[in-house]
Amino acid sequence: MSASRPTWVFGYGSLMWNPGFETPETRPARLSGWHRAFCIYSEHYRGTPEKPGLILGLLPGGSCRGFAHRLPEEAYDAVRRYLIHREIDHDGVYEETVRTIHLDDGRAVPALVYLADRRHRQFAGKLPLEAAARLVRGGSGVTGSNLAYVQNTVAHLAQLGLRDPALEALAQAAGAAGA
């Protein structure tokens, strides 16, 4: 399969547990050269322009474990349109690219990957823990609370047998302070 029509999409946040389409195969996967970070202000899905949340993006360096979903051949064009609408159309804060990912069964496959656009006005960069926790606690948008998004991400990483200390610290700080 050519990189112009990749058959996989890499999920490192909500795409891990909620791809939004029927996938014929889901596998644990790793993307090298990029790491998961809460670095994007959310003004739609997990926040509003008046009270933004904080969502994940991929930043250069390290590696990232997540889930890869194989795109269904019979609905490929519809799923691609859906992914563009979901990841790009609302805020334009992600850039779609194709990168090689490594599936847990040893295959290396080209996949759609959504990277944080560091030039976008919603790019937050790395925030201090308390500032990030405050955004997560207060954020809520059309797909629900920002805290639930953080908690779901931690839970799905646990399904992979992975721990992300920075993400767990954010979940703890946002949840504990709100209790």
Q: pLDDT tens digits, residue range 67-80?
A: 999 999 999 999 99
Total of domains in the chain: 1
Instruction: Kindly state whether residue 107 falls inside one of the protein's structural domains.
Output: yes
CATH number at residue 23: 3.10.490.10
Segment 37-96, tens digit of pLDDT: 999 999 988 999 999 999 999 999 999 999 999 999 999 999 999 999 988 876 788 999
Task: Choose the catalytic residue: 73, 74, 87, 96.
Answer: 87
Instruction: Kindly state whether residue 150 falls inside one of the protein's structural domains.
Output: yes
Length of the chain counted residue by residue: 179
22 a catalytic residue: no
Instruction: Kindly state whether residue 3 falls inside one of the protein's structural domains.
Output: no
Instruction: Kindly state whether residue 2 falls inside one of the protein's structural domains.
Output: no
Instruction: Kindly state whether residue 1 falls inside one of the protein's structural domains.
Output: no
- Contact present, 45 and 90 (Cβ < 8 Å): yes
Q: Per mean pLDDT, which range of 55-59, 159-163, 167-171 is the poorest?
A: 159-163
Show the domain range for 42. 8-178
Q: Can you give the pTM of this predicted structure?
A: 0.87
For residues 18 and 92, give the distance between their C-alpha atoms in angstroms, rounded to a whole number: 20
